[in-house]
Structure 1
């Protein structure tokens, strides 16, 4: 089975990574442990991740909250009752409106079973989710990391993680995606937690003093 992490072992994994990698050790000693970012295994969580594709986290959250105000509970059945105009009023683009509808239909038809994902391998979850329009590898990476707490995911398409990695490792700006994936292999089997350390660094550096 795929390895998991939780509140019991999260800081221990951070310590193990720090022992093996001086750059990660510096993040922990400077900024402390990262939060264990976590979301429930729900349709709402996946809608939230779809909203976060290629936009700021703040604008994604405001669209999610607007949707919640409109329908109280974000369920597949409720979102399918919304018109294009109602989605637009919740700050959804045409594309994201379509993606959320595809996902809602896939869940209602039984094509996608979120609870079932908890017992499936990472690759099986990825294959099922990426078969849906509008869900690519980045969305699946975040779902595996935040929702299913899978321990060994490196989201090579995540700009914040990649930029932080280049900075922390003092890599040239034009380091390729393949090179980054190769470097991240040293963090196996805990690439998710290493990525959370990178995000923690990214957010801490950007915080106003």
Structure 2
């Protein structure tokens, strides 16, 4: 097992690791030169944080946050117990779709039954965490990738299912819109073992470009 599958970045070494991946790729260095370093995006290792990521699946970040805030208004503390105390109708009032209601219920039940232990995941490799989390209904590779980057700050993750990161990569690298998955993967291989930092630089580029 690759030892870097448990390596993490933190607020102290964040810029240093951004510089390390930028030293391997002139286009990523260009992002830092143009826009500076990305924010240190981070969330705690909690039920609420995973609910937030599930809500972000296939919708805008603003829409996901509005749903999360509506839920917070209703139950104050977003815990598995409090979530399960709400009916489908009450969750619909909090903008939850039927599908995401069932996903978050499954997550809450697994945490309460202790078939999933978030604290224990910290000591597992990326692939072990992927195996654990994808047992939960509605959690696929993209959700796991975001969990690994935002919450556990694992060093070497590129979320192939993330449209913002992939589109930014195509633009920064001058790849065609119809580039194959193989082309994208071969580009990301140059970023090992700092793929997560490359991803954050690409998100930063994507968001800054949109402001323009």
TM-score strictly above 0.5: yes
The whole-number CA distance in structure 1 between the counterparts of 2:192 and 2:22 is 13
1:176 is aligned to 2:185? no
| CA displacement at 1:178 relative to structure 2 | 2.5
1:120 is aligned to 2:127? no
What RMSD, in angstroms, separates the aligned Cα atoms of the two structures? Answer: 0.7
1:93 is aligned to 2:100? no
The whole-number CA distance in structure 1 between the counterparts of 2:87 and 2:171 is 44
Higher relative contact order (CA 8 A, sep 6+): 2
| CA displacement at 1:87 relative to structure 2 | 0.4
The whole-number CA distance in structure 2 between the counterparts of 1:39 and 1:134 is 20
Match in the other structure for 1:6 = 10
- Deviation per CA, 1:11-66: give whole Å up to 9, x if none: 01111122221100110000000011100000000000000000000000000000
Select 1:23's aligned residue among 27, 36, 55. 27
The whole-number CA distance in structure 2 between the counterparts of 1:110 and 1:79 is 16
Match in the other structure for 2:147 = 143
Please, which runs of 5 or more residues in structure 1 have no aligned partner? Answer: none
Task: Provide the TM-score with structure 1 as the length reference.
Answer: 0.98
1:207 is aligned to 2:211? yes
Following TM superposition, where does structure 1 have runs of at least 4 consecutive aligned residues deviating by more than 4 angstroms?
none
Match in the other structure for 1:58 = 62
- Deviation per CA, 1:105-144: give whole Å up to 9, x if none: 0000001000001111111110010011100000000000
| CA displacement at 1:172 relative to structure 2 | 1.0
Match in the other structure for 2:160 = 156
Please, which runs of 5 or more residues in structure 2 have no aligned partner? Answer: none
| CA displacement at 1:182 relative to structure 2 | 1.7
For the residue of structure 1 that corresponds to 2:154, the secondary structure is: coil
Task: Please tell me whether the aligned partners of residues 161 and 199 of structure 1 are also in contact (alpha carbons under 8 angstroms).
Answer: yes
The whole-number CA distance in structure 1 between the counterparts of 2:128 and 2:90 is 34
